[in-house]
Homo-oligomer: A and B are copies of this chain.
């Protein structure tokens, strides 16, 4: 029997999930792995009525670093600055660190994972909860070159979009419900504006494509502009609207973007509903893979954190636990970012588009719209034109286009908006890439 002694920073939901999980499955883990995971210290600003499994309690985070018994620090305090400091200090003290903190990894991954130290830092719990996507990218699929990654990586957004579709209710109604169910925070902006998803995509991009951790270079849009109308029209066209993190290897560089997209009904990803997360990968050898599961929750996140503890407790090879981090760092130090890992500007991506154009119900309007698209060399794949509702002069022209350059589509939408018959803002939603 080997032992590993863990110090936990934080006593919030996830930390409590870890304590519950270790309390319940300590013996099972020992039988399976030969490892006894012993929590020796918990540090948190305030004590709570929680079973600490016999661990000492501190109000000072620094006690975890100075406690010589602690082999592995499990960082679960959240936030950015204080957590970053703790991780740095623990690594500098020679400890191994497990974190669920996507913001810290997304912002500081380049330095935290640099060199040998990177092999002592594990972060499976930072991306998509219990889904073993970090392990898949670092180990199981490490022999593959990736073409594309599409991720439903924010459970709040997915719950809200799924519920809007199932019940035909508005964004504001579903937000209120998500808040009452605890799926959305009182200030929901972090989730619904896409920031959380962008943190995760930053990490996935580094692991799958060897890109630098550069959160601020990811294009981000949220879900607040999606209406029940758009969800319904998308369904008529054979699609569902999902909030995605998208990474694609193109010849000229890497696409990295977070936004809502139409996902075709015949893809498995389109059927990932509610608060579930999923990552769909296209790899040169493995083909098309999908990993799905709970993206958040106390014990789901704890499951990933405890797996990291077990992996770090057993690892002796400095390259093994963080090979792709190592790759990213190598590139960083060389200062020779290759074309392949350079992020493309949003203007340089290509996508098919869903357009909803509010127009007056007059003869010839569709012809004018079609002429503008034709002038821009944009092919129309499908059209829906809806009857006018009683007493309304407005009609929606809904168009699904073929693939077109983002820059061209922006210009075309501007041109469409200048038509006299167009009587409101044009909604444009990208279609998720399929290859």
Contact = CB atoms under 8 A, between A and B. Distances in A.
A315 B321 CA distance: 11
Interface in A305-360: 306-307, 310-311, 314-317, 319-320, 323-324, 326-327, 330
Contacts of A307: 139-143
Nearest to A130: B286
Nearest to A136: B132
A313 to B, nearest CB: 9
A135 interface: yes
B287 A294 contact: yes
A310 B268 contact: no
B141 A34 contact: no
Contacts of A291: 289-292
Contacts of A202: none
A104 interface: no
Contacts of A141: 130, 132, 303, 307
A131 interface: yes
A140 B125 CA distance: 10
Interface string A112-138: 000000000000100001111001100
What is the copy number of this chain in the assembly?
2
B140 A124 contact: yes
Contacts of A34: 319, 323, 326
A319 B289 contact: no
A11 to B, nearest CB: 18
Contact of A300 (B25, B28, B287): B287
A285 B299 contact: yes
Interface string A24-59: 110011011111000000000000000000000000
A47 to B, nearest CB: 24
Interface string A268-290: 10011000101000011111111
18 contacts: A34-B319, A131-B289, A132-B139, A139-B139, A140-B307, A141-B303, A142-B310, A143-B302, A143-B303, A143-B307, A271-B271, A283-B303, A285-B302, A285-B306, A286-B299, A289-B293, A291-B292, A314-B319
Ranked nearest first, the 5 interchain pairs of A and B with the lowest CB-CB distance are A132-B140, A130-B286, A289-B293, A143-B306, A285-B299
